[in-house]
Structures are given as structure tokens and as C-alpha cells.
Amino acid sequence: MENVRLHFVKINNAKYLSHLDTYRAIMRAIGRTDLNVWFTEGFNSHMFISFPLPLSLGMESTCEVADIKLLYPTDYVAERINAFLPEGIEVFNTTTPKMKTAQIAYAKYIIELDDLSVSQKDLAEKLRTFMSKDEIMLKKTGKKGKETVFNAKDKIKDYYIDGSGKKLMMVIVCDAGPTSNLNPAAVIEAFSEDIGREIDHISVRRIKILTADMKEFE
């Protein structure tokens, strides 16, 4: 049996696919190939696919991963799957997993903002002021509908703000993984509330999945 880690992008209109829809799209694509994929055993047998770090709805990514198991080593796995994937999702590499899901600690994102009512320079300065606060309080709704408030500043490892281009850009590294996770879009929503202005355009793209020692997840 061979463990295979699929490395794929999820961009453009594919960002509107939920995690469940993405799972189904990849499962259907694999099912239409001639790959001998391992199925789980038991009463409810199904194709084994595991996503170490599911992507939030509305986000793009150039570093997504999914794990599958093949009954025996096979060539051209990416090409076979790509032939049946929807537009916006493409496997660009396949590797043997070197790290476990539990090793994921952070993710790196690029966020682009655009507010036509103010200059990018002014917007960048407001964002720097907001990000420099000791507390960035966000609301979180649990599975039972209970709302809690937490300090997101504790979950932000690093960030960089650039207001010199056509759009304001922020690169942010924040908690991601099985024990702690921060949706960077929620930080921008809090920033929007803080300045009392709705940001016109927001795009979020995940570009790296990282371990606790800041190595790329492999």
C-alpha cells in the first residue's frame, strides 16, 4: 500500500466550494480514474481521503493538501485526477507524507483590501494601528450556538502590511491546526468594525501551511 499526499490549488470560483463540496469533487474525480484507491473497511466502507487542514469557504489557496492511499505504487497520479477535477482545483504535485497532521501549527495568508473611499496609504496606517493593539477581540459561535469572545492577538504569530501598491496587502501568519485556529478574514471584519467602514474588496489566499518551527508542512 502507498500513502500519497496530493498538493493542490483552489482558486477563482472554486473558493466558493465548501469543504464538503471540495471533498466530494476530489472523491468523484478519483473515482472516475483507474487508480486503485484503498477503501476503509467495515460496514460503511468508503474511499479514504483525509484533509489535514480544511480551507474556509471564500478563501483561495495555493498550498492545499489531501491524503489518499493506493493499493500499489502508481505513476501520473496528478495527471489522472486533474482530468476530472472542476475548474479552479488542480493537483500540482504528489508526495509521500513526511509529516503528521498534529505537526501543523500555523498558516500563512495574503490578504488584499481595497477601499475606494480612502487612499491606500491612509487605510494601511489605520490597519497598522489596529494590528498594533494589545487586544483584538473577536466573537466565535460554537456548535451549540453559544457565542464566546477571545483575543485574536494571541493567535497571530507575525504580519506585514504593504500599502504601496494598487491594493493594500497584508501578509499574516496565524494559528492553524488541530489545537488552535484563526480565520484571518475574521480579523479584517473586526478591523472594518473598528474603523466604522465596510471594506469594498477583500481577498484571502493561503500560501503556506507551517509547523511549530515554521517549516513548510510536507
Rg of the chain, C-alpha, whole Å: 19
pTM of the model: 0.93
Average pLDDT for residues 7-22, to the nearest whole number? 97
**Mean confidence (pLDDT) of the chain:** 93
Give the pLDDT of residue 191: 95
pLDDT band at residue 145, thresholds of 50, 70 and 90?
Answer: confident
Q: What is the pLDDT of residues 171-180, one digit of tens each?
A: 999 999 988 9
Angle at 144 between CA 139 and CA 146, to 5 degrees: 35
Q: Which three cell numbers stand for residue 13?
A: 470560483
Together in a domain, 86 and 133: no
Helix ranges, the chain (H): 19-31, 77-82, 120-131, 184-195
The number of distinct structural domains making up the chain is 2
Residue 26 lies in a domain: yes
Instruction: Indicate which CATH number applies to the domain containing 63.
Output: 3.30.70.580
- At residue 170, the 3 state secondary structure works out as strand
Q: What is the pLDDT of residues 195-218, one digit of tens each?
A: 998 888 889 999 999 999 999 999
Q: What is the pLDDT of residues 90-133, one digit of tens each?
A: 999 999 999 999 999 999 999 999 877 778 888 999 999 999 99
Together in a domain, 6 and 75: yes
Give the pLDDT of residue 86: 97
Give the pLDDT of residue 69: 96
The b/e string for 184-217 (b: 16+ C-beta within 10 A; e otherwise) is bbebbbebbeeeeeebeebbbbbebbbbeeeeeb
Residue range of the domain that includes 7 = 2-97
Residue of 17, 21, 27 lying closest to 68 (CA atoms): 27
Average pLDDT for residues 30-56, to the nearest whole number? 91
Together in a domain, 195 and 108: yes
